[in-house]
Amino acid sequence: MRPTALITGGGRGLGAAIARDLAPDHDLLLGGRTEQSLGTIVAELPAATPWPVDLLDHDAVAAACSGIDRLDVLVHNAGVASLGTVADSDVAQWREMFDANVFAVVALTRALLPALRAANGHVVLINSGSGLNAKARWGAYAASKFALRAFGDALRQEEPDLRVTSVHPGRIDTDMQRAIVAEEGGEYRPERFLSPATVAQAVGQAIRTPADAHPTEIVLRPR
């Protein structure tokens, strides 16, 4: 029986790239806000099934997870990013970062823990270089990613039968990155960033690592 992987934010960018990497040897549940947003990647990958749910609606998440009895891989890829100084950013912006990048991850993981335990599964947290190093104007986002790293560290110790991998890529060539560069007022040059396929390959390698090893942390930077 092929293992099953659930990938949040699976409709485009890094999530879609991870789906393409895992599709040859995994059955896929691809998370997104709507089924329509997942149509292109699901049509491309016969192994993929849409899993539309608003991750910020924790009751809807619990309902969507209720039929999943066994899950081999959970990839937390969905997230948001916005810039602002501490002086200029309001509490609502910080709350938005934590709601999407931390609390949604906690809620989904908790809902799927029985299924992950049944499979001795693997949780992959797509973190960021900002989860290791906070910079000016990135405070709210970095704080959420530091918290995500702490969540992964705690989960790894509390659930010894699971593998938990935190992935800290540098900036990736995605639509989100284009929006960030526009917010920074810079010129977008995709060659300056990591390819989604490169990061996806690193994620796939971690997932395929033989069971006697535990890949706990992966850090990638553009050359």
Catalytic residues, by residue number, are 141
Residue 19 contacts residue 10 (beta carbons within 8 Å): yes
Q: Label residue 118 exposed, middle or buried (CB < 10 Å: 0-12, 13-18, 19+).
A: middle
How wide is the angle at C-alpha 69 spanned by C-alphas 154 and 210, nearest 5°? 60
Cα dihedral sign, 195-201-202-203? positive
Residue type, 13: G
Reading the block at residue 3, the tokens are: 């293992």
Among 125, 123, 127, 164, CA closest to 144: 127
**71, containing H or E segment:** none
